[in-house]
Amino acid sequence: MSRLKVGVIGCGHLGRFHTKMHTMLEDISELIGVYDLNPEQGKKVSEEFNCKQFSGIDELLGEVDAVVIAAATQSHYEVAKQCLNANKSIFIEKPITATVPQAEEIVELADKKGLIIQVGHIERYNPAFFQIEDMNVDPMFIEAHRLASFNPRGSDVSVVHDLMIHDIDLILSLIKAPVEKVDAAGVAVLTGTPDIANVRIKFANGAVANLTASRISIKKMRKFRIFQKEMYISLDLDKGAADVFSLADESDVTAQGMAIANIESKGKKIMYVKNPEGQINALLEENRDFVNSVTNGTPVKVSGLDGLRALITAEMVISEIEKQLN
């Protein structure tokens, strides 16, 4: 079977890791080379992974079948458009672009040309999230906390685009109804854009999501809690584990988990399932999915349209924060 010829644009922190992943997918992917605006950085990564360093994007596009875009967010649009116009499918790191109109244009362009866009919302590959994929998840309330210490990498965008957008994407993948209303507050502490934000999103079906994201915390936390009729799910995204509490009929011997309490007035028992902590190389798996999608036509887990929806919601959050600050 012929391997997909892949090039990487952007050789910074994430670009280096994406390049490494394609050396680990050598059965399905052939790493052709890399390009970076900084020639020294491009040279460093090309030498580390024994691949070609290209002097320009056009040169790279002439030798590859598909492209991973891990450049700075502000350049996503121009690079993506150049790749798509050259008829190359793209994996593009999140956020998909810097603005909604840019994202709309490249999603439309890919659709018109029959090309694939996969967006790097890596939390879709979190083992904790995998553990609930086959469950009947229909949230009415979600609470998400994503806290991290300050890292200059990523501070070129707000904490909403840098961190919160991960949880926005997860929430939009679970709640299928349109967003109806957004209330948000945020503060710029160390940078020129919000470094901490709290958001309440209301959906047309009555579901509500509360999100908090901070990049100025002492302690790291990635917790995601889902509440719905007769079920509560707690996800620890750091550990890759899911705890599930659900109601079952007292007589139901097939109910999964351990019975921890009875609600006699309802004839129900509370079942508890503690899933083991999962280990997975999420970056490797999302790149594997991208290669398989381009090669075999299998659907990507996070499409360009998904990336667009996450960005639209993130922009609604930013707009509300700006109103509050003004």
Contact (Cβ atoms closer than 8 angstroms) between residue 316 and residue 179: yes
Tokens of 320: 């509300």
The predicted pLDDT at position 262 comes to 87
The CATH 3.30.360.10 portion of the chain extends over 124-280+313-325
For the domain covering 124-280+313-325, report its CATH number. 3.30.360.10
What is the Cα 5 distance to its own chain's centre?
24
Q: What is the pLDDT along the chain (326 residues), one digit of tens a residue?
A: 589 999 999 999 999 999 999 999 999 999 999 999 999 999 999 999 999 999 999 999 999 999 999 999 999 999 999 999 999 999 999 999 999 999 999 999 999 999 999 999 999 999 999 999 889 999 999 999 999 998 877 666 789 999 999 999 999 999 999 999 999 999 999 888 899 999 999 999 999 999 999 999 998 999 999 999 999 999 999 999 999 999 888 887 677 888 888 887 788 899 899 988 888 999 999 999 999 999 999 999 999 999 999 999 999 999 999 887 76
Separation of alpha carbons 191 and 214, rounded Å: 12
pLDDT in the model for residue 144: 98
> Which CATH number among 3.10.580.10, 3.40.190.10, 3.30.70.860, 3.40.50.720 corresponds to the domain 4-122+282-301?
3.40.50.720
pLDDT single digits (tens) 228-280: 999 999 999 999 999 999 988 888 767 788 888 888 778 889 989 998 888 89
CATH 3.40.50.720 maps onto the chain at: 4-122+282-301
Taking the C-alpha atoms of residue 100 and residue 281, their distance in angstroms, rounded to an integer, is 30
Helices (H), the chain: 13-24, 39-48, 57-61, 76-85, 100-113, 127-130, 159, 165-174, 282-296, 304-325
